[in-house]
Amino acid sequence: MPQGSCKRALPWAILLGATASGLATWTLRQRRERARAPRIDPERLREAMPEREAKAVAYTRIRYATFFLDEALGLGLLLAMQRHERPIRLREWAERHAKSPGLRDALFTSSLLALSSAITLPFSFVSGHLVERAFGLSRQSALSWMADAAKSLAVSLGIAVPATAGLYAIIRRSPQAWWLWGAGASSLLTVALTHIAPVVIDPLFFRYRPLRDEALSERLVELARRAGVPVVGVFEADYSRKTTKANAYLTGVGSTRRIVLTDTLLQGYTHDEIAVILAHELGHHRFGHLRTGIVLGGLGTLAGFAIADGVLTRAGSRPGYTGKGDIATLPSLALFLGLASTVLMPAGNALSRVWERQCDRFALDMTRQPDAFIGVMRKLAAQNLADPAPSALIEALLYTHPSIGNRIRMALRWEALNAERAE
């Protein structure tokens, strides 16, 4: 590898090294903690573990299959788009309809995204609507689902088109250091979207209103105060119009940070169980996972762009291309970043599971209610058709959270350890 490429790849090497080191350290610490923890009562474990229902197993297997097919379809489509003269013809068409480079890039990008969405729409409809309806998880009509898909496409276009046009303007203005400036701009965009999503994007898909249960609202706000995570309020989202799944989350940062409970959660969970869920979500903010994720994402983007410089240079040197700043190189850039994202996904998921386990322990420490925690896990497994015991390989590759079974085992270890300390 040329010396310049080695230097540009250094942030990626540092990122991967730090991630691997952190995961290894955490794994060793977990093993030591498990070795010191008292054994779980087998009878208690049998009582706590949900049944591995055939319906949930069938649903999750279909989800695994559709995930891999979606990845293959997306990457295959990008591979097809970047070959031969297709990007050149699309760029020439954009040039005929747009006079300025910025408008040309925007027209090229929007056309590419619209075409990709049209090609993948049948698959998305089957996996995102028909499968969900078949398993009783969706309440949407086909028309409602299509309306949401159109809104999602509009949001994607509204973000991706100016972002891509801006990136290629940076590439043409600073062809040697574009990857540095581009990564910085990408990080700023991520921070901005984190701020505005709760008040601009989320209401496009669901209706939000202040939680009507004042006692529960006060309890959750007090829980957030104890965790050192101020919020602007507690809101209820009308998920039941579209899905039977339940969820609770914190969204936004600073002046837009708010607690959101789905109405499907409010219908079937006790206040103690909801408090446990929220305590878990508060843990992400208490431990700075959002901030760390943005930093790691920025480093990953920096490394990806640095290595992608070589990809763009080669793509831009082909006949018919005007250089790395030619918008026609976009499919090549997207293909490289897509492949890198797929390859690095298991590492990202592993880090996510570390954070989720940390937040599970935080929730137990805050609420001191392992029974409520276990009750939540059992209900979520049944309501969302989660497989409580997937294979270790599938969990390692695809799961951003520990499996339901592993989360229950962790709660039982916490319960046993604290019972021992209390004696």
Concatenating the DSSP letter of every residue in 50-101 gives PP--HHHHHHHHHHHHHHHHHHHHHHHHHHHHHSTTHHHHHHHHHHHH-SSH
Burial classification of residue 154, based on how many CB atoms lie within 10 Å of its CB (0-12 exposed, 13-18 middle, 19 or more buried): exposed
- Per-residue pLDDT of the chain (423 residues), as tens digits, is 444 555 555 555 665 666 566 656 656 665 665 556 667 777 778 888 888 889 999 999 999 999 999 999 999 988 888 776 889 999 999 999 988 999 999 999 999 999 999 999 999 999 999 999 999 999 999 999 999 999 999 999 999 999 999 999 999 999 999 999 999 999 999 999 988 888 899 999 999 999 999 999 999 999 999 999 888 889 999 999 999 999 888 888 777 888 999 999 999 899 999 999 999 999 999 999 988 999 999 989 999 999 999 999 999 999 989 999 999 999 999 999 999 999 999 999 999 999 999 999 999 999 999 999 999 999 999 999 999 999 999 999 999 999 999 999 999 999 988 876 655
Lookup result for tokens 């991706």: 160
Contact 301, 183 (CB under 8 A): yes
- Distance of alpha carbon 360 from the chain centroid: 18
Six-digit token string for 137 = 């998880």
What is the rounded CA–CA span in Å between residue 190 and residue 127?
28
Cβ-based neighbours of 154, under 8 Å, separated by 6 or more: none
User: For residue 1, what pLDDT is reported?
Assistant: 43
Contact 414, 280 (CB under 8 A): no
For residue 305, give the nearest of 337, 280, 350, 270 by alpha carbon: 337
Burial classification of residue 185, based on how many CB atoms lie within 10 Å of its CB (0-12 exposed, 13-18 middle, 19 or more buried): middle
Count of other CB atoms within 10 angstroms of residue 92: 14
* DSSP state letters, 239-262: GGGTBS---EEEE-SGGG-EEEEE
For residue 388, give the nearest of 60, 162, 22 by alpha carbon: 60
- Cα distances from 102 to residues 105, 107, 213, 220, 385, in angstroms, run 5, 9, 50, 47, 46
User: For residue 49, what pLDDT is reported?
Assistant: 85
For residue 64, give the nearest of 394, 401, 406 by alpha carbon: 394
Report which DSSP code applies to 318.
Answer: S
User: For residue 14, what pLDDT is reported?
Assistant: 60
208-210 and 258-262 strand pairing: unpaired
What is the rounded CA–CA span in Å between residue 411 and residue 409?
5
Report which DSSP code applies to 171.
Answer: H
User: For residue 10, what pLDDT is reported?
Assistant: 59
What is the rounded CA–CA span in Å between residue 335 and residue 81?
9
Lookup result for tokens 């918008």: 327
What is the rounded CA–CA span in Å between residue 74 and residue 335?
9
- Cα distances from 265 to residues 55, 119, 135, 246, 305, in angstroms, run 21, 35, 19, 5, 41
Q: How many residues does the chain have?
A: 423
What is the rounded CA–CA span in Å between residue 310 and residue 316?
10
Six-digit token string for 203 = 């209401």
* DSSP state letters, 132-164: HHHTT-B---HHHHHHHHHHHHHHHHHHHHHHH
- Distance of alpha carbon 91 from the chain centroid: 32
Six-digit token string for 205 = 């898909």
Classified as helix, coil or strand, 26 is helix
- pTM for the full predicted model: 0.86
Count of other CB atoms within 10 angstroms of residue 16: 15
- Cα distances from 164 to residues 4, 153, 169, 200, 331, in angstroms, run 25, 15, 9, 21, 12
